[in-house]
Amino acid sequence: AQKKRVGIHSHRTDGCSLNSGVRYQMKRSQTSRTVLVMGVLFFIVGSIGALGSWAAYLLDAGIERNGQQAQGHITKKSYMFVADGDSDYNVEYWFMLPSGERVESSRGVPKDLWGMLDEGHSVVVLYSAENPKRNFLLKGGFTSIGVTVFVSVISAVIAIFGSLLVLGFIGGRRANA
């Protein structure tokens, strides 16, 4: 007597075995989890960028309106020429707090202000009483509204892209359920 084989047989017409279908579903599940993680990361990074740029702008605006002033001294000027023709102009300076503590800082400034300053010159520095490391020169170094808006828009696009990935993941899960 011949023994009869018992087992599960797949009669698939697409040429794939049952095992390859399971592998496909596992691979798809890993891909969708990756999409979810990337979406969440894009949303977080974009949100932090948008909120952070406005926080920096508002903090500088508060310092400009209500901050403390000190006599600062330029110690060094430098610029970095970039291949695309843009350049960054920086000044290093120090100032004394009313407590007698010396604060050293550096800040990017507009080109015209950079051209007017020389090492050893005195400048007026505005600073936060709560955090004197947050400071800038009276006539330059303030976080500009243009940069703030630009960074906010780019960051918001990244956050929206991330949220669309997450929503796509959620919608795909509902469609497969």
pTM of the model: 0.65
Choice between 29 and 8, residue whose per-residue pLDDT is larger: 29
Q: Across the chain, what does the average pLDDT equal?
A: 83
Q: How confident is the model at residue 177 (pLDDT cuts 50, 70, 90)?
A: low
Q: 75: exposed, middle or buried (C-beta count within 10 Å: 0-12, 13-18, 19+)? A: middle
Q: What is the mean pLDDT of residues 39-64?
A: 93
At residue 154, what is the residue type?
A: I
Structural contact between residues 140 and 89, judged by C-beta atoms closer than 8 angstroms: no
Q: 67: exposed, middle or buried (C-beta count within 10 Å: 0-12, 13-18, 19+)? A: buried
Contacts of 57 (CB under 8 A, 6+ apart): 143, 145, 148
